[in-house]
Chains A and B, each alone.
Chain A
Amino acid sequence: MRFLFMKSKVIALCVALLAFGASPLIARTIIIKADALDSFAALSETNVRNGWATYNYDNTRYINSSSGGGPATSYLLRYSLDQIPKGMRITRAEWTIAHNVASTKVNVWRVLADWGIGACFQYRTTYPKQQEWSVAGARGKSTDRATNPTASGQFVNGQLLTVNVTQDVEMWYTGAAPNRGWLITFDGFALLHSPTHGGHRHKWQLTVTYEPE
């Protein structure tokens, strides 16, 4: 009796080990949330040196849970992809851009130029030295940002916009291009939910599906 009990435990353990070992063979989908954002900057024509993105441009100064974008104000965002295990192949990546009140066209651009501390409309970095964008506001096509948008979409009030960013995530993950994040630009006024404040930040999601190579 005791032998049978031991045997069943061993079998259960083997099954569990097999299941654990086989798990990487199956495609997985993960949601990379706003807390994986490692850089965030605002590029505003009206405030060319101030790149702090959680200042709510052109909105009431009391409210900091929304970020105002528009033709003169765009945003840089970069996610850490550390949550994706090594040795995988990216099969799909979708990015949900959480907007509040907006009905404008939005473009998502892969950023080419290196940017960092001090990133703002005028400069892509100001430390350790000042380096300007090739065109202010990261508008230089094929230099500051990719020649064509990765994705485009239309904000519709009451709906979240999700765009396909598979190619960019794959390039960054494989190292074919450095991960310098995305630039989002707007044709008209766009009030975004902040990815760092308030109760809507969870709506910013980068959904990545991968499988073993």
Chain B
Amino acid sequence: MNRLVVLSAVLILAIAARAENLPREFTITPNAITEPPAFLSKVVVPDATCAAVSDALSLLVVGRAGKDEKHLAVFHLDAEGRASAEPTWITLPKPETLAANFNYPLGLLFHPKLPLLYVWQDVNGPPAEKQGKHPEFANHLEFDHLAIYAIKDGALELLHTGTRGEGFYCGVGGGTVGLDFDAKHLFVPNATGDTPRTGSVGVFALDEDGLPTDAPDETPGKKPKAATLKARVGKDVNGKYNRLAALPKSRLINSYLPTGMGWFAAREALVMGGFSGCLVNDVHDGGARQAWFHIPGDLTGPCAIAGHPTAPALYICLQDHNHFYQIAQTDGYPSLLPQVATVTGAHMTGIPVVVAKQSCIAIGDTKSLHLLGLDANGALNGKDERLKLECGIAKGLAYSEKHGRLYVAVNKND
């Protein structure tokens, strides 16, 4: 018995020491758990693709890819953060010409101060080489990727749709919208690049109501006067819709799709997930400057990012892979070298969600969810708990800071 106690103590000490002295590159073997932790709340939304929670509005919205056209599930939260039993369903708009096509939400974002929900949606379409000006893409030119809902008395009311045309890809599997630090600009994903399959991002200047505005075109060869992240935004279409033009060539990312796989806004720069790393937009000499950050190692593939709300840490998840990265960042600038975690048996997918109060980061997997442990500085601590879930890939994740609650969409209750 004594020997067992001593052995256990030695083992615990050894594990603790390992967590504190992790090498920069390490392997994690997940600890399978069957009972969800107390901070995790499941909501039933089959085939979830994304989620967002608003503490200010006490709302949880989960997006789903359902052929029954129930696209958004809206849950009201009580004072304890418990979701209502039955959601209200919202169908996303699409033009009549695409009535037979399958549209689906990819990203949801609440405005931090205004009662607005930004939704990025997509629709199945022809292959990338038959998009843009190709005749087969003609019906898709009126598809609005961006829908903005006002929240009035807890209900969603469609306020604005836009972002359409040959400047955006259709049928992309990832990408979401992001706001800059002051919520004055809205960034959108999956704009077209130089060639089929290469992409860029678009940016709207927002008015005081949080709606996209027309920004003045930049004069070629002249430096913008103000240090803002303005980009070219097209004229109103039909007096109702705004259409975002592709960015000037110098600002193209030229990365493979999808672009905008998660956004992290800091005081000086905005970081975006993308192909094989992340992209940093900062302001320099009055204009936006982009720096591409390739993930170390020789791996490639789409990457999703998330930033810690208080610790100097940025997280990158190589999609459908067992690699997960943590990089220090301050003011939006990644710094030094990343931690590289290889999680045994994992196929992590989706945009990670920082579960700040519980010091972990959640990331979906096939029929499961990983909770990767973090230390006080937001660095990975070498631990992972993997929870089995009734779902395809756990992508409907959202965290409430106010309630310290992680919401996870599942196909059905256990």
User: Which A residues are within 8 Å of any B CB, using their own CB?
Assistant: 35, 37-41, 47, 49-52, 54-55, 61-62, 64, 116-120, 126-127, 196-199
Give 17 pairs: A residue, B residue, CB < 8 Å, sorted on A: A35-B25, A38-B24, A38-B337, A39-B336, A49-B269, A50-B291, A51-B336, A52-B280, A52-B333, A55-B292, A55-B293, A116-B336, A117-B335, A120-B333, A126-B335, A196-B297, A197-B296
- Beyond the given pairs A50-B282, A54-B294, 4 more chain A to chain B contacts, judged by CB atoms under 8 angstroms and listed by A's residue number, are A41-B336, A47-B289, A55-B293, A118-B331
Cβ A52 vs Cβ B334 within 8 A: yes
Q: Smallest Cβ distance from B281 to chain A, in angstroms?
A: 11
Q: A35-B25, A116-B336 are in contact. Are A49 and B331 (CB under 8 A)?
A: yes
Report B-chain residues with C-beta under 8 Å of the C-beta of A119: 335-336
Task: Provide the main secondary structure of the chain A interface.
Answer: loop
Q: Is the CB of A39 within 8 A of B292?
A: no
Most-contacted residue by chain A among B254, B291, B294, B328 (CB, 10 A): B294
A3 to B331 CA separation, bound complex (whole angstroms): 74
Q: Would you give the shortest CB distance from A34 to chain B, in whole angstroms?
A: 10
User: Contacts of B218 on A, CB cut-off 8 Å?
Assistant: none
In the complex, B165 has a CB within 8 A of chain A: no
**B312 on the interface (CB 8 Å rule)?**
yes
A38 to chain B, nearest CB (A): 6
Q: A41–B298 Cα gap in the complex (Å)?
A: 19
Q: Which of B234-284 contact A (CB under 8 A)?
A: 254, 268-269, 280, 282, 284
With A and B bound together, what is the CA distance between A108 and B254 in angstroms?
35
Q: Which of B282, B293, B312 contacts A127 (CB 8 A)?
A: B312
Instruction: With CB as the reference atom, state the residue of chain A lying closest to B328.
Output: A117
Which of chain B's residues have a CB closer than 8 A to the CB of A64? 292, 294
Task: Please give the distance in Å from A126's CB to the nearest CB on chain B.
Answer: 4
How many B residues, CB 8 Å from partner? 25
**Dominant SS at the B interface?**
strand
Instruction: Give the interface centre of B268, B280, B282, B333 by most chain A CB atoms within 10 Å.
Output: B333
Return B330 CB to nearest CB of chain A, in Å. Answer: 4
User: Which residues of B have CB within 8 Å of A35?
Assistant: 24-25
Closest to A63 in B: B294
Which residue of B25, B284, B289, B293 is within 8 Å of A52 (Cβ)? B293
Q: Are A61 and B328 in contact (CB under 8 A)?
A: no
* Alpha-carbon distance between A40 and B297 when the two chains are bound, in angstroms: 15
Q: Which chain B residues (331-378) contact chain A, with CB distance < 8 Å?
A: 331, 333-337
Contact of B292 among A38, A49, A61 (CB under 8 A): A61
- Output the least CB separation between B271 and chain A (Å): 11
A40-B336, A62-B254, A119-B336 given; A197·B268 CB < 8 A: no
Q: In the complex, A103→B289 CA distance in Å?
A: 30
**Known contacts A118-B333, A196-B337, A198-B298, A127 near B24 by CB under 8 Å:** no
What 5 A-B pairs come out closest when comparing CB atoms?
A64-B294, A196-B296, A118-B330, A126-B330, A117-B328
Quote the shortest CB–CB distance from A76 to chain B (angstroms). Answer: 9
Closest chain B residue, CB of each to CB of A60: B254
Known contacts: A35-B25, A47-B291, A198-B298. The answer to whether A52 contacts B254 by CB under 8 A is no
CA of A161 to CA of B24 in the docked complex: distance in angstroms? 27
B254 touches A61 (CB 8 A): yes
Do B337 and A49 touch across chains, with their CB atoms under 8 A apart? Answer: no
> Closest CB-CB distance, B134 to chain A, in whole Å?
26
- Asked, given contacts A61-B292, A117-B328, A197-B298, whether A51 binds B333 with beta carbons under 8 Å apart, the answer is yes
From A50, A120, A127, A196, contact of B328 by CB (8 A): A127
Residue in B25, B282, B336 whose Cβ sees the most chain A Cβ within 10 Å: B336
- Knowing A49-B268, A117-B328, A127-B312 are in contact, say whether A197-B297 is a contact too (CB < 8 A): yes
Which chain B positions have C-beta within 8 A of A55?
291-293
B383 CB to closest chain A CB (Å) equals 21
Nearest residue, chain A, Cβ from B311: A127
Once bound together, how far apart are the Cα atoms of A62 and B275, in whole Å? 11
Pick the most buried of B25, B268, B296, B334: most chain A CB atoms within 10 A of its CB: B296
Task: List, in ascending order, chain B residues with CB within 8 A of A199's CB.
Answer: 298
CB-defined contacts of A51 to chain B, threshold 8 Å: 333, 335-336
A47 to B269, CA, bound (A): 13
Please indicate the chain A residues that have their CB under 8 angstroms from the CB of B312 in the complex. Answer: 117-118, 127
B25–chain A nearest beta-carbon distance, Å: 7
Residues of chain B lying within 8 A (CB to CB) of residue A120: 333, 335
Q: Which of B282, B328, B331, B337 is the most central at the interface, judged by chain A CB atoms within 10 Å of its CB?
A: B337
Is the Cβ of B333 less than 8 Å from the Cβ of A54?
no
Instruction: Assess whether A127 is in contact with B330, with CB atoms less than 8 Å apart.
Output: yes
Residue of A47, A116, A127, A197 near B294 (CB, 8 A) is: A197
In this complex, the member of A40, A50, A55, A118 whose beta carbon has the largest number of chain B beta carbons within 10 angstroms is: A50
Residue among A49, A51, A62, A197 with max Cβ neighbours from chain B (10 Å)? A49
Rounded to whole angstroms, the CA-CA distance of A120 and B284 in the bound complex is 15
**A118 to chain B: which residues have CB within 8 Å?**
312, 328, 330-331, 333, 335
Bound together, the chains give a CA A199 to CA B298 distance in angstroms of 8
State which of B282, B296, B297 has its C-beta within 8 Å of the C-beta of A49: B282
Min CB–CB distance B335 → chain A (angstroms): 5
Q: Mark B1-30, 1 if CB is under 8 A from A, else 0.
A: 000000000000000000000001100000
